[in-house]
Amino acid sequence: MSVRRRVALLIETSRAYARGLVRGVAQYVREHGHWTIDFTPRGLSDPPPLWLRGWQGDGILARINDHRMAEAVLKTGASVVDLRRVLPDLDVPTVGPDDRAVAQLAWEHFLEHGFRHFAVCGMPRGLQPPMDRRQDYFQQIAHSYGVQCETFCLRPRRQSSEAWDEEQERLAEWVWGLAKPVAIYTCNDDYGMRVLDACRRADVLAPESAAVLGVGNDECLCHVSNPPLSSVDLDAERIGYRAAQLLEHLMAGGAAPKRPVLIPPRGVVARASTDVLATDDEDVVRAVRFIREHAYEGIRAADVLQHVAMSRAALEPRIKAVLGRTVAQEIRHRQIERVKELLRETDMPLKQIALQTGFRYPEYMMRAFRQATGMTPKQYRKTGGG
Residues 6+ apart with CB under 8 A from 302: none
How far apart CA 36 and CA 59 sit, in angstroms, is: 10
> What pLDDT does residue 324 have?
83
Distance (Å, whole) CA 174 – CA 178 = 7
Task: Please give the chain's pLDDT, 386 residues, in tens.
Answer: 467 899 999 999 989 999 999 999 999 999 987 899 999 999 988 999 999 999 999 999 999 999 999 999 999 999 999 999 999 889 999 999 999 999 999 999 999 898 999 999 999 888 888 899 999 999 999 999 999 999 999 887 666 677 888 999 999 999 999 999 999 999 999 999 999 999 999 999 899 899 999 999 999 999 999 999 999 999 999 999 999 999 999 999 999 999 999 999 999 998 989 988 887 788 888 888 898 889 999 899 999 999 999 999 999 999 888 888 899 999 998 899 889 889 887 889 999 999 999 998 999 999 999 999 998 999 888 876 65
CATH, domain range 282-381: 1.10.10.60
The Cα–Cα gap between 298 and 332 comes to 10
Nearest partner of 117 among 145, 155, 158, judged by Cα: 145
pLDDT score for 147: 94
Confirm whether pTM is higher than 0.75: yes
- Give burial (CB, 10 Å; 0-12/13-18/19+) of 24: buried
Q: How far is CA 139 from each of CA 40, 51, 192, 313, 351, rounded to the nearest angstrom?
A: 39, 44, 17, 35, 40
DSSP state of 258: S
Hey, is 231 helix, strand or coil? Answer: strand
pLDDT given for residue 2 in this prediction: 65
Write down the CATH superfamily of domain 5-96+236-265.
Response regulator (3.40.50.2300)
- Reported as half-sphere exposure (CB side, CA atoms, 13 A), residue 375 has a value of 15
Count of other CB atoms within 10 angstroms of residue 18:
20
Q: Which ranges of 76-213 does DSSP label H, i.e. alpha helix?
A: 99-112, 129-144, 161-177, 189-201
Helix (H) or strand (E) holding 146: none
The confidence score (pLDDT) of residue 300 equals: 92
Give me the residue spans of the domains in the chain.
5-96+236-265, 99-234+268-274, 282-381
Fold match, 5-96+236-265 / 99-234+268-274: yes
**99-234+268-274 belongs to which homologous superfamily?**
Response regulator (3.40.50.2300)
Report the SS3 class of residue 158. coil
Predicted pLDDT at 4: 87
Q: What is the pLDDT of residue 285?
A: 82
At residue 276, the pLDDT reads 86
Cα separation, 97 vs 111, in Å, equals 22
Q: Is the peptide bond before 181 cis (omega within 30 degrees of 0)?
A: yes
Q: Hey, what's the torsion of the CAs at 103, 194, 268, 204, to 10 degrees? A: -100
Q: Contact at 8 Å (CB) between 213 and 232?
A: yes
Distance, in Å, from the CA atom of 42 to the CA atom of 240, rounded to the nearest integer, reads: 17
Q: Supply angle C-alpha 110, 115, 118, rounded to 5.
A: 80
Rounded CA separation 144/302 (Å)? 34
